[in-house]
Structure 1
Amino acid sequence: MSNIIEYINVNKSFGDKQILKDVNLKIASNKIIGLLGKNGSGKSTLFKLANDLLTLTSGEIIIDGNPVSVESKKVVSYLPERSYLDPSLKVTEAIKFFETFYEDFDKAKAERLLIDLDLDPNMRLSKMSKGMREKVQLVLVMSRKAKIYILDEPLGGVDPASRDYILQTILTNFDKNATLLISTHMIADIEEILDEVVIIDNGQIVLHEDAKVLRKKEKCSIDEIFRRMFYVKQTTKK
């Protein structure tokens, strides 16, 4: 199976602080991959580098056969952790912006998803709750016909009652021939959908394995594996 994303000897520093250290990671096509790690481990930095929002200190990232560039951005639909839309926009105006900017944007799909998620298309983003704004961003991102979907904490601002529905929205609205990269602290909510698990710690990839194989080998859930790796270790040190 071909690799849709490759991180090759990737390093990223901000001043004297090194955030990513010699990251080598290959992401296969047509997979759902969970990127897991504690706060500050480098998850968002990995995603931003793949979207050309940060500059590499050293190394290389290849996306769909191309280095990170305008061309590579055409195949990636990215949901950042924080809102990036102008809060003065109405939802309909945000949709118009995406329709103009992205050739692969499906306006009809976006309008259907707004109905599914009970979002008012004429409401301004500034009048919405954090969770509602995140739903709007998710609608926009999932309405593109991309090869790669990168979702950074898509469940972060969503109330617990809506999480299953949001997750189902993600699963039913991305092309099954595409690749989905998702980061979250809510591991138990997503682990059953994952094909592969990548764990990052202090800017280094410490685990990359098939999700089913990992669960079988460790005889427990991925959520439990993550807790053992980090939180049990911290408790023991104390």
Structure 2
Amino acid sequence: MSVLQCNGLSKRYGKAPALEQVSLAIEPGRIVGLLGPNGSGKTTLIKLANGLLTPSEGEILICGAAPGRATHSLVSYLPERTCIPTWMSARQLLDFYGDFYPDFRRDAAEEMLQHLDISPAQRVKQMSKGTREKVQLIMVMSRQAKLYLLDEPIGGVDPATRDYILSTIISNYNPEAAVVISTHLISDVEKVLDEVIFINRGQVMLQSSVDEIREEKGMSVDALFREVFKC
């Protein structure tokens, strides 16, 4: 069964289309890049999968079920903006996630915090922007979810931090799960991707494995993206 499936999925804000007749499937064990220019529909698709929006037409399914209370335990979501409570300490965040999510692996989260020399007593408001982003990602990736939805997980951090974040994603997700990474920093994430979905103006332009792109097109994902979306 597909972890994420869309059948004729459309979403409109008033009369403005954000997604138009999107049909795709993402299988377990895959790390997928959701790639497109700004305003292409990436965040809308992620919010639909997380149940924060409802479709205008068609359907979206998480492990065969429509997004809702039944799928909240299957999806671990990293929003584009940091949204963890700034008054909490790292230890209180661990407690909160442990209380809220039965699948939260506290030992994995503690190990990653220790690796980054983040004190459990440090409050979020005392952390730098980059450290806050790392802490939020650690919380998201420490769940034993079926679908990880990461919206611009490396957008505002330095190259060294990007490498740590990507290695965290690779080493901490459930191999029976799927990871969707929405980003425009393609050259940075390409090395961890199994496949890519190109989306533009709410429509899927391409869904392909990274190996097929390299073998059939003779170019990197980044180079193909630049060719497809050149101004």
Please tell me the TM-score bracket, short chain as reference: over 0.9
- In structure 1, the residue corresponding to 2:70 is in which secondary structure? helix
**Where does residue 122 of structure 1 map in the other structure?**
121
**Where does residue 62 of structure 1 map in the other structure?**
61
1:39 partnered with 2:43: no
Letter in 2 for 1:74: S
| Rounded Cα–Cα distance in structure 1 between residues aligned with 2:147 and 2:138 | 15
Deviant stretches of 4+, over 3 Å: none
Aligned ranges 1:19-38 → 2 under 5 Å: 19-38=18-37
Structure 2, unmatched stretches of 5+, are none
- Aligned sequence identity (%): 46
| Rounded Cα–Cα distance in structure 2 between residues aligned with 1:189 and 1:131 | 17
Aligned ranges 1:156-195 → 2 under 5 Å: 156-195=155-194
Letter in 1 for 2:122: M
Offset at residue 117 of structure 1 (A)? 2.2
Letter in 2 for 1:82: R
Offset at residue 177 of structure 1 (A)? 2.0
**Where does residue 219 of structure 1 map in the other structure?**
218
* TM-score, normalised by the number of residues in structure 1: 0.93
Letter in 2 for 1:219: G
Offset at residue 147 of structure 1 (A)? 1.3
Letter in 2 for 1:204: Q
Offset at residue 118 of structure 1 (A)? 2.4
**Where does residue 230 of structure 1 map in the other structure?**
229
**Larger displacement relative to structure 2 (11-20 or 196-205):** 11-20
Offset at residue 16 of structure 1 (A)? 2.3
| Rounded Cα–Cα distance in structure 2 between residues aligned with 1:170 and 1:27 | 17
The C-alpha deviation readout for 1:122-158, integer Å capped at 9, x for no partner, is 2221222221111011110111011111111111122
Letter in 1 for 2:191: E
**Larger displacement relative to structure 2 (221-230 or 163-172):** 163-172
Structure 1, unmatched stretches of 5+, are none
The C-alpha deviation readout for 1:55-109, integer Å capped at 9, x for no partner, is 2212211111211111111111111111122222212112211111101001111
Aligned ranges 1:74-93 → 2 under 5 Å: 74-93=73-92
1:198 partnered with 2:214: no
Aligned ranges 1:99-110 → 2 under 5 Å: 99-110=98-109
| Rounded Cα–Cα distance in structure 1 between residues aligned with 2:119 and 2:41 | 35
